[in-house]
Chains A and B, each alone.
Chain A
Amino acid sequence: MPTAAELTVAEELVALREICSRRVWYLKEIDSLQFHLGLPARDNSSFYLLVDCNCYPVQPPAWDWCDVGGAHRDRLSDRPRGSGFLHTNGVICAPWNRLAYKSLDARGPHADWTIGDWQKNSYTGGCTTLPHMALRVFVELNSSRYTGQRLG
């Protein structure tokens, strides 16, 4: 019997698959709750994320920068430098990223957010599904806010 998280991910990945296929973005589904996503940036480089959707949508997914092979999640050289969104702590700083919560990840910039309220957080806006989030990251990597540099 699939879990609520698995059903939600399966439903939301339909749109993301379509976009990735047409835009030639890298998408590898690791299992029913995790996928590896590659997004091009404005300087023609690419960034990769391992996305863990355990407990989604009760909790937001964890969007973790990683290398092209998905084996390393601890290297500063895999993390873009830019705005507050592309945080210097090495995490995407948004309420829809589980890693932004200090209570769950030491790098999380926010001790003032409650993870169970992530969809109601005013900074979430409409970013409440996986394709919304992926598009938001893509737009950030292709905006002038991304400096064209990496954290390490």
Chain B
Amino acid sequence: MEDQEALKQAEAHLDHAETEFKAAETAEHKAEHDVEVALEEVREALKPHEVFLEIATPKGLFEGVFDGKTKISQVIEIVVEKKDLNKKDTFELVHNGQVLQPIDRTLESFGVKHKAKLELVATGSGV
């Protein structure tokens, strides 16, 4: 009898844990959706000369709005600072597989406009 009671209690705990897990999942999905909506609002609010950049960095994602006339070197400097990357490393900014060099050129000169996905990668090569 005691075993059955313990089993029932364990089942009740399991049901409760599953319910909590589902609630957490729902909350997580809602939060993700809210973030997407907020990002879309940011994108829609862009002025014509502004660019929304989502940059994958070695320390995770960086998102920010830049003026199209911002130099690549300035973008790299800001992202390295904000993501607390090692300033001694040399980084390259990449858009659609193209390394954005020379870095004294502007975002718009490389055709980066509206919203764009880029990668910030440390130099280092295969040989």
Tell me if A51 is interfacial: C-beta within 8 Å of chain B.
Answer: no
Residue contact A132 to B58, C-beta cutoff 8 Å: yes
A83: min CB distance to chain B, Å? 6
Tell me if B22 is interfacial: C-beta within 8 Å of chain A.
Answer: no
Residue contact B60 to A94, C-beta cutoff 8 Å: no
Residue contact B126 to A87, C-beta cutoff 8 Å: yes
A102-140: CB near B (< 8 Å → 1, else 0) gives 000000001000000000000111111101100110111
Please give me the residue from chain A that is nearest to B88 by CB atom: A126
CA distance A19 to B58 in the complex (A): 9
Knowing A14-B60, A15-B59, A144-B97 are in contact, say whether A139-B119 is a contact too (CB < 8 A): yes
B residues 40-86 with Cβ under 8 Å of A?
A: 54, 56-61, 86
The bracket for how many chain B residues form the interface is 20 to 34
Residue contact B126 to A85, C-beta cutoff 8 Å: yes
Tell me if B112 is interfacial: C-beta within 8 Å of chain A.
Answer: no
Residue contact B86 to A126, C-beta cutoff 8 Å: yes
Residue contact B124 to A93, C-beta cutoff 8 Å: no
Please give me the residue from chain A that is nearest to B98 by CB atom: A143
Residue contact A19 to B124, C-beta cutoff 8 Å: no
Residue contact A136 to B97, C-beta cutoff 8 Å: no
Residue contact B97 to A139, C-beta cutoff 8 Å: yes
Residue contact A135 to B125, C-beta cutoff 8 Å: no
CA distance A18 to B54 in the complex (A): 12
The bracket for how many chain A residues form the interface is 20 to 34
Residue contact B126 to A19, C-beta cutoff 8 Å: no
B residues 85-127 with Cβ under 8 Å of A?
A: 86, 89-91, 94, 96-99, 117, 119-127
A96 proximity list for chain B (CB < 8 A):
124
Residue contact B126 to A126, C-beta cutoff 8 Å: no
B98 proximity list for chain A (CB < 8 A):
143
Residue contact B89 to A18, C-beta cutoff 8 Å: no
CA distance A20 to B9 in the complex (A): 40
- Other A-B pairs beyond A15-B58, A22-B56, A124-B124, 11, CB < 8 Å: A14-B60, A19-B56, A84-B126, A123-B124, A126-B90, A126-B122, A126-B123, A131-B57, A131-B60, A132-B122, A139-B94
The chain A residues found within 8 Å of chain B, CB to CB, are 14-15, 18-19, 22-23, 42, 83-87, 92-94, 96, 110, 123-129, 131-132, 135-136, 138-140, 142-144
Of all A-B residue pairs in the complex, the 10 with the closest CB atoms, nearest first, are A85-B126, A126-B122, A125-B124, A126-B89, A142-B97, A127-B124, A15-B60, A132-B58, A143-B97, A18-B60
What are 23 A-B interface contacts by the 8 Å CB criterion?
Answer: A18-B61, A23-B117, A42-B96, A42-B97, A85-B126, A85-B127, A110-B127, A123-B124, A125-B89, A125-B90, A125-B122, A126-B122, A126-B124, A127-B124, A132-B124, A135-B121, A136-B122, A138-B119, A139-B99, A140-B126, A142-B97, A143-B97, A143-B98
